[in-house]
């Protein structure tokens, strides 16, 4: 079910580090430096650099330079430099399609690095060597080298090298379909890359984790990782990786039969590749797109893109992919009954598959060829090819392929009219069908589940989009309404004339309506203005005052001159007072804070903060469900100030342990009772400024207040609701 599949993406990701657009000028510069080099060691260094520049651009062209560099360093005995030249040479050989030679030179590099005790360099070469071995399928050896590399990087704390080594390790485990190990390795790479802030590395690790998760079956989570990676790549303008990642996404979506999404990602990948001259990366993507078209029965388009895919795969020398594309092309042509073309493509594919030992593809191509011959009624050839396919079956060890084989056999036997063979084929077919029935069912359930998960996610997204659309429309509608209001006001005169002629009754009605709308418009502007003012005060005045306070605080600590000191102290306390006042003002301004409940919450919060560093325990109690009243601004300001004044008195004079505020709302009045258990005072004797203040504030709201002194102080404030609420 979780089949290991060759994918160009990761191979490409590995090369991304060395790819650079301004390569041409750098190459010229290096050539000049080589020509001008006065001594051998300088020349060898530049030769090595130049060869290195060719590794990803045009590896074959770099070989003579690295060869010369090796020759010089060997002659002169520069072991350290030679080890680097060997490494470059090996990489050039590797990229030129000569893996055996490359391995030899990597090993030579290892030998030199060991001789000169260059641990860091050794770790890098090990990592490169492992990457090469991975391509040849020698995974165990690769893992062993990477473990050595990781050990060295770890002890040297080379996070960059560590990230790359873990990345390579993850890729090998991915190839081995050991997904959990792969994810672990990629996650370690991600950690190392995150620590040094290597954003591209972070992106690649995310993509690799996403890819592995998707292949391991957690498609939805894999998607998230892909998208994180993609976002970074977009921000960093890394088009190469974007093309590859979008291609990956397209392939994943095809696998879960979401053709629409798959097509979308294919086209997106193609678009970016085309605008950035990266079409050489598109072979895999075109193949996926072709399969999407083929599944949708758009055979003509499928053939067109398959052919593009094939052309690029040939250029890129990707044999496995070529065989797959030729198989797809054959199948598409067969669907159109173009047997001649189908035969040609399949035979080409077959040759590649045989030459490069790809038994699965060989089998698939042979079975399909047999079908093509059958369509042509060439039963002899059909039988012959199916026999050849049959011989491969033991190597494949997959029931699914047996099933394909017997299905083809049934068709041939039917055509031949050979009843014995037909019955035999049927029996075998059924036997294998049964044996893989459960496997099939399991796969189906798995795929259905994935499909369900992605669709669920997409539906949520669609809902969100719709909600957004609704919000947008609603906003537009409100704008339109307010525009109409404006027209109504500005065109008031015109309206007046029309309405006059229309008759006095209609006029009155219309006027009332216009007035209502005008008021609405005013309220809306007012709300906006409130928000704006709150924000402005917040941003400018607020930070200025904080600064004054902070600086004054600093100066207050310096006691040189008593007069100077008391002035600074005054500045400080004024600033403090202003900040507090402003805090209330800012709190009051946004229209959402105008409710009675919010005022009570604010009072509770203030009490908590105000008595925070004292032994007084404040308690502000009001019912869970405060009736929804919008308060007038004057009411908020006066009530808040009165309550603060009361709390100040408690703090300064009462010696109380407990302080409580109880709030009650009935149909006509708001009642606030503030109680403390302090020493109390005689209101007839001492009517201080604070008390006067409270008196004024409550009177301004048309309310009454009462002070009781039994075992402490109790102040009761009663305010009529109609005076403090807004309609």
Written as six digits, the tokens of 449 are 């589940």
Q: 319: phi > 0 → left, psi -120 to 50 → alpha, else beta; which?
A: alpha
Minimum CB distance to another protein smaller for 446 or for 587: 587
Written as six digits, the tokens of 630 are 């919008």
Minimum CB distance to another protein smaller for 340 or for 461: 461
Torsion of CA 234, 239, 241, 247, to 10 degrees: 100
Minimum CB distance to another protein smaller for 22 or for 197: 197
Minimum CB distance to another protein smaller for 407 or for 582: 582
Beta carbons within 10 angstroms of residue 32's beta carbon:
11
Pick from 232, 156, 146: which is nearest to 189 by CA?
Answer: 146
Minimum CB distance to another protein smaller for 115 or for 461: 461
Contacts of 488 (CB under 8 A, 6+ apart): 495, 514, 517, 518
Smallest gap from Cβ 547 to another protein, in A, equals 5
Pick from 435, 377, 376: which is nearest to 401 by CA?
Answer: 435
Smallest gap from Cβ 544 to another protein, in A, equals 9
Smallest gap from Cβ 554 to another protein, in A, equals 5
Contacts of 491 (CB under 8 A, 6+ apart): none
Rounded to 10 deg, the angle between the 259-275 and 283-295 helix axes is 150
* Whether the Cβ atoms of residue 586 and residue 534 lie closer than 8 Å to each other: yes
Determine the Cα–Cα distance for residues 352 and 364; give it in Å rounded to an integer: 13
* Whether the Cβ atoms of residue 258 and residue 277 lie closer than 8 Å to each other: no
Pick from 325, 322, 328, 392: which is nearest to 360 by CA?
Answer: 392
Minimum CB distance to another protein smaller for 79 or for 601: 601
Number of separate helices (H) and strands (E) present in the chain: 31, 7
Pick from 698, 630, 361: which is nearest to 690 by CA?
Answer: 698
Give kind and range of the element (H or E) at residue 706.
strand 704-708
Smallest gap from Cβ 664 to another protein, in A, equals 17
Please tell me the chain's helix, strand, coil percentages from 3-state DSSP, rounded to the nearest 5.
80, 5, 15
In the beta sheet, which residues pair with residue 78? none
Minimum CB distance to another protein smaller for 477 or for 577: 577
Smallest gap from Cβ 253 to another protein, in A, equals 11
Binding site for another protein (CB under 8 A): 194-195, 197, 223-224, 227-228, 230-231, 264, 457, 460-461, 463-465, 538-539, 542-543, 545-547, 549-551, 553-554, 576, 579, 582-583, 586-587, 600-605, 608-609, 612-613, 619-620
Smallest gap from Cβ 574 to another protein, in A, equals 13
* Whether the Cβ atoms of residue 163 and residue 189 lie closer than 8 Å to each other: yes
Smallest gap from Cβ 705 to another protein, in A, equals 23
Smallest gap from Cβ 373 to another protein, in A, equals 44
Measured CA to CA in angstroms, residue 638 lies from 167, 584, 696 at distances of 66, 11, 9
* Number of residues assigned to the chain: 727
Minimum CB distance to another protein smaller for 465 or for 515: 465
Smallest gap from Cβ 423 to another protein, in A, equals 53
Measured CA to CA in angstroms, residue 499 lies from 408, 482, 485 at distances of 87, 21, 17
Q: Is 670 helix (H, G, I), strand (E, B) or coil?
A: strand
In the beta sheet, which residues pair with residue 674? 661, 715
Minimum CB distance to another protein smaller for 516 or for 580: 580
Minimum CB distance to another protein smaller for 321 or for 639: 639
In the beta sheet, which residues pair with residue 718? 671, 704
Smallest gap from Cβ 212 to another protein, in A, equals 18
Smallest gap from Cβ 559 to another protein, in A, equals 15
Smallest gap from Cβ 124 to another protein, in A, equals 24
Minimum CB distance to another protein smaller for 156 or for 340: 156
In the beta sheet, which residues pair with residue 670? 665, 719
Minimum CB distance to another protein smaller for 582 or for 718: 582
Backbone angles phi, psi at 619, to 5 degrees: -145, 120
Minimum CB distance to another protein smaller for 299 or for 602: 602
Torsion of CA 580, 581, 584, 590, to 10 degrees: -130
Smallest gap from Cβ 275 to another protein, in A, equals 18
């Amino acid at each position: 079910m979780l089949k290991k599949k060759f994918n160009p993406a990761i191979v490409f990701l590995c090369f991304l580090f060395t790819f650079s657009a301004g390569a041409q000028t750098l190459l010229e510069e290096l050539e000049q430096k080589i020509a001008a080099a006065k001594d051998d060691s300088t020349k060898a260094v530049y030769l090595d650099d130049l060869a290195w520049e060719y590794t990803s651009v045009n590896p074959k062209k770099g070989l003579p330079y690295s060869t010369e560099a090796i020759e010089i360093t060997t002659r002169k005995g520069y072991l350290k430099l030679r080890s680097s030249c060997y490494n470059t040479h090996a990489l050039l050989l590797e990229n030129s399609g000569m893996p055996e030679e490359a391995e030899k030179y990597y090993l030579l590099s290892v030998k030199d690095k060991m001789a000169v005790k260059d641990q860091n360099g050794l770790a890098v070469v090990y990592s490169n060597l492992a990457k090469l071995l991975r391509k040849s399928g020698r995974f165990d050896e690769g893992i062993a080298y990477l473990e050595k590399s990781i050990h060295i990087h770890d002890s040297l704390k080379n996070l960059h090298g560590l990230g790359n080594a873990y990345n390579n390790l993850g890729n090998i485990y991915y190839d081995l379909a050991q997904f959990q190990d792969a994810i672990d390795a990629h996650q370690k790479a991600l950690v190392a890359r995150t620590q040094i802030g290597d954003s591209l590395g972070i992106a690649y690790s995310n993509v690799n984790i996403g890819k592995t998760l998707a292949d391991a079956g957690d498609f939805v989570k894999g998607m998230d990782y892909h998208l994180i990676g993609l976002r970074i790549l977009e921000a960093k303008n890394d088009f190469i990786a974007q093309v590859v990642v979008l291609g990956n996404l397209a392939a994943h979506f095809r696998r879960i039969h979401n053709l629409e999404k798959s097509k979308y990602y294919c086209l997106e990948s193609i678009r970016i590749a085309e605008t950035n001259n990266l079409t050489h990366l598109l072979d895999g993507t075109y193949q996926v797109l072709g399969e999407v078209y083929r599944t949708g029965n758009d055979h003509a388009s499928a053939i067109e893109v398959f052919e593009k895919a094939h052309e690029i795969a040939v250029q890129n020398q990707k044999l496995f992919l070529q065989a797959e594309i030729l198989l797809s092309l054959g199948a598409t042509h067969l669907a159109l009954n173009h047997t001649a073309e189908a035969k040609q493509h399949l035979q080409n594919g077959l040759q590649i598959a045989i030459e490069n030992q790809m038994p699965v593809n060989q089998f698939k191509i042979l079975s399909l060829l047999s079908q093509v011959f059958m369509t042509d009624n060439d039963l002899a050839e059909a039988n012959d090819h199916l026999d050849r396919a049959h011989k491969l079956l033991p190597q494949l060890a997959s029931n699914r392929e047996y099933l394909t084989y017997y299905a083809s056999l049934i068709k041939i036997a039917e055509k031949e009219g050979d009843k014995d063979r037909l019955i035999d084929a049927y029996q075998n077919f059924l036997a294998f069908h049964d044996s893989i029935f459960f496997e099939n069912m399991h796969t189906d359930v798995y795929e259905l589940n994935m499909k369900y998960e992605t669709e669920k996610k997409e539906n949520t997204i669609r809902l969100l989009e719709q909600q957004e659309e609704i919000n947008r429309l609603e906003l537009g509608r409100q704008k339109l309404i307010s525009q109409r209001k404006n027209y109504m006001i500005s065109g008031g005169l015109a309206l007046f004339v029309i309405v006059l002629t229309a008759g006095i009754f209609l006029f009155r009605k219309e006027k009332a309506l216009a007035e209502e709308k005008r008021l609405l418009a005013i309220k809306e502007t007012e709300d906006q203005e409130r928000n704006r003012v709150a924000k402005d005060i917040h941003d400018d005045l607020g930070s200025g005052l904080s600064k004054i306070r902070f600086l004054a605080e600093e100066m207050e600590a310096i006691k040189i001159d008593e007069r100077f000191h008391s002035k600074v102290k005054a500045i400080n306390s004024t600033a403090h007072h202003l900040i507090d006042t402003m805090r209330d003002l800012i709190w009051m301004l946004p229209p959402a804070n105008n409710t009675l409940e919010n005022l009570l919450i604010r009072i509770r919060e203030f009490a908590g903060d105000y008595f925070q560093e004292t032994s007084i325990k404040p308690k502000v109690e009001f019912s869970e469900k405060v009736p929804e009243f919008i308060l007038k601004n004057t009411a908020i300001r006066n009530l808040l100030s009165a309550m603060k004044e009361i709390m100040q008195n408690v703090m300064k004079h009462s010696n109380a342990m407990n302080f409580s505020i109880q709030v009650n709302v009935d149909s006509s009045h708001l009642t606030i009772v503030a109680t403390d258990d302090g020493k109390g005072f005689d209101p007839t004797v001492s009517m201080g400024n604070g008390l006067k203040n409270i008196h004024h504030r409550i009177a301004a709201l048309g309310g009454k207040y009462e002070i009781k002194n039994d075992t402490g102080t109790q102040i009761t404030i009663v305010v009529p609701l109609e005076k403090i609420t807004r309609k």
